[in-house]
Structure 1
Amino acid sequence: MSAAREYRMAMTFNDNARIDTSKVRRRGRTTGIAVGGGGLLVVGLFLLSQLLGVDLTGLAGGGGQQQGPDQSIGECTGLDANADLDCRIAGAADSLDTYWSEELPTFGAEYRTTGIVLFEGSVDTACGGATSAVGPFYCPPDETIYIDTSFYDELQSRFGSSGGPLAQMYVVAHEWGHHIQNITGIMDGLNLQDTGPASDAVRLELQADCFAGAWVGAAPQLRDDQGVAFLEPVTQQQIADALSAASAVGDDRIQESTTGQVTPEAWTHGSSEQRQRWFVAGLEGGPNACSTFEAESL
């Protein structure tokens, strides 16, 4: 197969799509010792753990590097997004923002955008300090998504995802789904202390997977401010890549790879099968299909 043919198959964005990069920024680091958060940092991580259903309290550390100023990632076109990860994330963000700004009002809800901070190693947030060990996450107090882009390599090398552009953008769309849950009040009043395959924590995560699928289903019809479609039609291989990413971060898959056994009562995000199934539900049925909190069976 020629290099040009391989490139065309790998493409996701239309070359001449114009991408608004203002929602994505990189946070630099400077040398020196960071001011420790102490007990407040632990409390912040504990609250985030309860909200997102994953234990982050062990990530509170004393010291590290101070955060440098946020930096723009510069200008991007669709052609850039097909070659550069930062631009690809910006393209996904612009498309997601377009989708939810049009979709959410149809449900009688008011939309407001979120932003994405890309970082390396560790980051300070309104939820406390966190390291790349957390993986991508959404912080409700500052309504911001945080991604250490090295996670995408780990998604393949450690968790066995097939990779691919849509697998990377699935992660962004999932975290954007948490933003939708936050601003619409879905997160309010949930019992996130319980775990297990039918817990509120799992239902929250599966709904975010479903919201990600809903965006993928609509993405080829979304257009930039010049009327150019952001994305080319999504291929079955790209959908398979996204499903591979959803499967790779299933609780059962992670438990088996880290402890050698599966403990359903400790689940906080859902099994690989559940995560794939709800992604497909959104892909085929849109946000109306994402009623995980009403579903008797997940």
Structure 2
Amino acid sequence: MSFDHLQSWRIIIILFGILSISQAAIEPNNGNFELGDLDEVLNINFPAGWFHDANYASVVTHFTPPSGQRWKKTDDLLPFEGNSFVLLSTGSEDASIPDSNYVHIWQNITVAQGDKLTGVFYFGTTDYIVSGYFNDWAEIKIVHSNDPNLNRMIQEVSIEEVGSHSSMSGWKKFEHIFEANETGTYTLVIRVSDYKDSMLPSYLAVDSMVLCRNPSGAGDFNADCIVNFEDFAFFAADWLFNCKDPAIHDDPIADANYYNDIYSNCLLGTDLDDSGPVDFNDIRILSDGWLEGIKEE
């Protein structure tokens, strides 16, 4: 083998090693929920790479809202990105599984200063509000391995936000940027729970979860760690739309932060200055972070 050929092979091996290390470092493992681990007995496609209960937590390609409810999203929930997402449900949808008033999945992640945990979620319930008794909720949280004072609630939503027998209007983005005093190893937990019963189920869906090691500034609407033309497409679709239009936010028992026009991207944060209209000030903010970040894939 010639010296030039030997050098070429060395370069290929080095590049392959760098790419392998880079891909192996992506956390959380299977955060886009494209991989499942089918339990043939229970017929549940548990999310690969995650610990889980024996109850319903499945990688699915769509979710059809239950009938007889007043959900704000009436058509199927589809993946935010890719071909699937994870769906958690309280109670049991399989006769072979005992009812449970909660279900959760979890895995360990390690974070450094400046890392950003982001993704999208969706919550809906068939239960109803009775003060002090029924209050189903869902949460995404991190539990520190050594110091409980560093536990953080990344996202929480309950019946009080969406209303009885109701839901969010679509996928909503979440994010948390880790400060210098929040570094270390955590258990990342995704959970949906009934308060005291398991008769009327609630549902939590999560997709596109990623820990951005080199996060962007404002405007990463699709939660992929970079601000680019994919985000601009979300933004352009909402141009001059009023994300705080009172004609849309007409539900007196639901939090306006959890529903909007189902054809808008407001829940992803296109109203960057939180003023209502998606306008020139928002595009200025978007341009400030243009092409910031490194895409995790």
Fold match (TM-score > 0.5): no
TM-score by length of 1: 0.30
TM-score by length of 2: 0.30
Larger Rg: 2
If each structure's strand is expressed as a fraction of its own residues, which one has the higher value? 2
If each structure's helix is expressed as a fraction of its own residues, which one has the higher value? 1
